[in-house]
Chains A and B, each alone.
Chain A
Amino acid sequence: MSPAPMISVQDLRVSFGTGANRVTAVDGVSFAVKPDETYGLVGESGCGKSTILRALCGLNPNWSGNVAIGGEQMTPQRTRSFYRRVQMVFQDPYGSLHPRHIVNTTLAEPLAIHGIGDADERIARILIQVGLGPSFRYRYPHQLSGGQRQRLAIARALILEPQVLLLDEPTSALDVSVQAEILNLLVDLRERLGLTCILVSHDLAVVAHMCDRIGVMNAGHLLEELPVSALENNTPTHPYTSQLLAASLGYDRKLAPEAVEDI
């Protein structure tokens, strides 16, 4: 028997606006993530993948459905202890860090909120874990490169020693060489700390590199779930997945359906 899922989502619905302006961003999505697994969600912008993460981590209370994390049913209102177990890393390290807080302040804040002592030691330890080292402790975000900022954002998420890490396009704002460093760091940390992760990305190659199982989304629906080996063997079942897969390999004139007639 397979172990109980760490994250279980059933019939999740999220909508914005009211009346005629009502938009259903996530429309009845169900999936489960096993402990220590990294589950990937892919799809185009606006398909609802980030909305799912925001509902899971409590940033958006307006959802319906059944969500359980670590066996515990979630309500829209989250407790403080929830945030010790579930943390998120955002897409844009230029926007997600307070520009006037030095690294030390950024990392001390979650510890203060949760009343955790020995902040000094923890900050020193986490900085080494994410590969920044003690010399970065008193710097401002503007003194850091994009990759260093994202390492700091990861450190901030991990300093509370969560079990679940939600990753919302963690490398899409970075150059490819820096992306490789951050992906390596995430692989390393999740093995060392035994993290359960959900990775959201529009880049099929990134998700295929990091995950064993992925969910493909379009227009608020989960079209299919498939093991990454199906991508590697080029045997996805849903035509939309095939389209994404073909597009991830680069340009091909044949993939653009209608031919352009005499311009």
Chain B
Amino acid sequence: MTPQLIVEDLHVRFRTPQRMVHAVRGVSFTVGREKIGIVGESGSGKSQTGRAILKLTPPNGIVTAQRLQFQEIDIAAASERAMLRVRGRRISMIMQDPKHALDPVMRVGTQIAEAIPDDARLSRAEKRDRVLAMLEAVHIRNPARVHQLYPHEVSGGMGQRVMIAMMLMADPDLLIADEPTSALDVTVRMQVLAILDDLVTRRGLGLIFISHDLNLVATFCDRVLIMYAGRIVEECAASELQNATHPYTRGLLASLPRIGSRHSKLAVLARDPAWLDG
């Protein structure tokens, strides 16, 4: 299986008035038609890695990479114009919070229809049918009603499904999901994850799942990359996460409270400066 996405030695730096912040420091990985999890604590560079793939790094950021290749496209060298044909069409991104990512003054149905590529040349009625079908595909019970609603009228879980529907309109090959379920309640989370899971298995998508939740990634993804201070410190099969060898990963796992850990002290992570280069 040839990988769809190849990332080699990716760096993201930010120029701030005080100093240069090196947010991502030489990250390399590949993504095939599989679910890859990127886990790490806040500030570990996991979101910036996801954004750099779509060239969505904020303007004060500088991205460099040996190689950033998506299928036949050299993203590192691609112009902004060329990226317009990639973003949302070949690679889509699902953001953390539907409350912020949806346009508050546009009806849900209209927003989803916007994601249909212009070259599909569909009539208004055809577009509407496609949107309704997609809403149904992401388990919205009454698509015709939801089609008419504004984002503030839908619940968090429904908003997240609307976002997923929008991202799928153009039939992308790769989905980047940045904490797609952390704003959702546990029971709704299961549904949204099941939708993503089935998409990967049935449509053969690649999925990059960015999360801070180790348990979730271990049970949902196929492979896991663990990031610390802008570097990947460990890569393993998700099912092998419990047997991770890097002291940082081991420390994170040990610091999780679990049912049955009552009356014991939780292990506290002792950060080793050597991990910065590990």
Contacts and interface: CB of A to CB of B under 8 A. Distances in A.
Contacts of A181: 268
A177 B219 contact: no
A62 B226 CA distance: 47
Nearest to B214: A176
A262 interface: yes
Interface in A232-250: 232, 243-245, 247-250
B186 A247 contact: yes
Given A250-B218, A263-B137, A263-B203, A176 B259 contact: no
A183 interface: yes
Contact of A253 (B189, B197, B214, B261): B197
Given A181-B268, A208-B259, A251 B216 contact: yes
Nearest to A262: B202
Contacts of A231: 259
A202 interface: yes
Contact of A248 (B137, B186, B191): B186
Interface stretch (B7-15, B109-117, B248-256): B248-256
| Interface of A, helix, strand, loop or mixed by DSSP | helix
B244 to A, nearest CB: 14
Give the bracket for the number of chain B residues in contact with chain A.
Answer: 35 or more
Contacts of A11: none
B193 interface: yes
Interface string A29-56: 0000000000000001100000000000
A175 interface: yes
Contacts of A24: none
Contacts of B18: none
Interface in B184-209: 185-187, 189-191, 193-195, 197-199, 202-203
B89 interface: no
A180 interface: yes
Interface in A176-216: 176-177, 179-181, 183-184, 187, 202, 204-206, 208-212
B258 A180 contact: no
Contact of A180 (B137, B187, B190, B268): B268
B62 interface: no
B124 interface: no
B185 A180 contact: no
Contact of B194 (A45, A180, A243, A253): A253
A208 B262 contact: yes
B266 A183 contact: yes
A118 interface: no
Nearest to A232: B260
A176 B199 contact: no
Contacts of B197: 251, 253
Contacts of B255: 176-177, 179-180
A250 B186 contact: no
Nearest 6 Cβ contacts at the A-B interface: A250-B219, A256-B194, A209-B257, A180-B255, A247-B186, A44-B185
20 contacts: A44-B185, A175-B41, A177-B268, A180-B269, A184-B265, A205-B257, A206-B257, A208-B261, A231-B259, A232-B259, A232-B260, A232-B262, A247-B186, A249-B215, A249-B219, A251-B193, A253-B194, A256-B190, A256-B193, A259-B198
